[in-house]
Structure 1
């Protein structure tokens, strides 16, 4: 997770930093075959060089970006978890619990759906 060190160090609030670090550790343990990278100042996970999921931060929340197709697939579950959503991402407020089961479903969906994908993003 050295790739994410600068991102984590840029988070001033210690509890926010711990939360992001916990998510990154969980993903690395749950999906050990995923590669880590940082593009556009966002920590990302890729599979065979193909985008799977990315994260960004703001003052009130952090964002999870799994691409619009995955968001459309999981809109109801994202809403049920209490997260707000746009076409490109969903937001988890810093004080909200992380629905790891949902996160696992979304990541696995992208891995499975993009098995034969040859481009970084879905086309």
Structure 2
């Protein structure tokens, strides 16, 4: 988690920092082969140089970005979890628990879908 330490230190709200750190640690434990990276001032995970998932912080939510294809594929599941989404990200309100099952499915989907990609983005 050294890669993310400086980013986490910038989060002023202790509850938000704790939540983001918890999610990042969970991803690293569940998917230890993924590489940690900070890009565009956001923590993200990559696999063989291709983007898998990224996270960012807003006042009312943590954003999870599995790329547009991930949003399209999981749109109904995202809504069923009680979260809103745009074309590019899922909003997880600070007041709601993280749906780790959904997060696992999104990451697994991107790893599988992008296993032969050689570019960063789809």
TM-score (norm 2): 0.98
Provide the rounded CA distance (Å) in 2 between the counterparts of 1:35 and 1:81. 27
The aligned residue for residue 54 of structure 2 is 54
The aligned residue for residue 8 of structure 1 is 8
Q: Residues 44-84 of structure 1: CA distance to partner in whole angstroms, max 9, x if unpaired?
A: 10000100000010111110001000110000000111111
**How many residues are treated as equivalent by the alignment?**
122
Superposition deviation, residue 8 in structure 1? 0.8
Structure 1 residue ranges (4+ consecutive) displaced by more than 4 angstroms after TM superposition: none
Provide the rounded CA distance (Å) in 2 between the counterparts of 1:25 and 1:86. 25
Provide the rounded CA distance (Å) in 2 between the counterparts of 1:9 and 1:84. 27
Provide the rounded CA distance (Å) in 2 between the counterparts of 1:6 and 1:89. 23
CA RMSD across the alignment: 0.6
Q: Which runs of 5+ in 2 are unaligned?
A: none
Superposition deviation, residue 89 in structure 1? 0.5
SS in structure 2 opposite 1:36? strand
TM-score (norm 1): 0.97
Provide the rounded CA distance (Å) in 2 between the counterparts of 1:114 and 1:12. 34
